[in-house]
Chains A and B, each alone.
Chain A
Amino acid sequence: EAGVAQSPRYKIIEKRQSVAFWCNPISGHATLYWYQQILGQGPKLLIQFQNNGVVDDSQLPKDRFSAERLKGVDSTLKIQPAKLEDSAVYLCASSPSGQITDTQYFGPGTRLTVL
Chain B
Amino acid sequence: KNEVEQSPQNLTAQEGEFITINCSYSVGISALHWLQQHPGGGIVSLFMLSSGKKKHGRLIATINIQEKHSSLHITASHPRDSAVYICAVRSPGNQFYFGTGTSLTVIP
A interface residues with partner B (beta carbon < 8 Å): 37, 40-45, 48, 55-56, 58, 89, 91, 93, 100-109, 111
A43 touches B41 (CB 8 A): no
Query: In whole angstroms, what is the CA distance A89 to B88 when docked?
Result: 17
B interface: dominant SS: strand
Query: A40's closest neighbor in chain B, by CB?
Result: B100
CB of B74 within 8 Å of the partner chain: no
Given contacts A42-B100, A101-B31, A103-B48, contact A108 B86 (CB under 8 A): no
With both chains docked as a complex, state the minimum distance between the C-beta of A94 and any C-beta of chain B, in angstroms.
11
- Between-chain CB contacts (< 8 Å), 8 pairs: A40-B100, A91-B43, A100-B94, A101-B31, A106-B44, A107-B42, A108-B42, A109-B43
Q: Mark B71-99, 1 if CB is under 8 A from A, else 0.
A: 00000000000000010101010111011
Contact of B98 among A43, A89, A106, A109 (CB under 8 A): A43
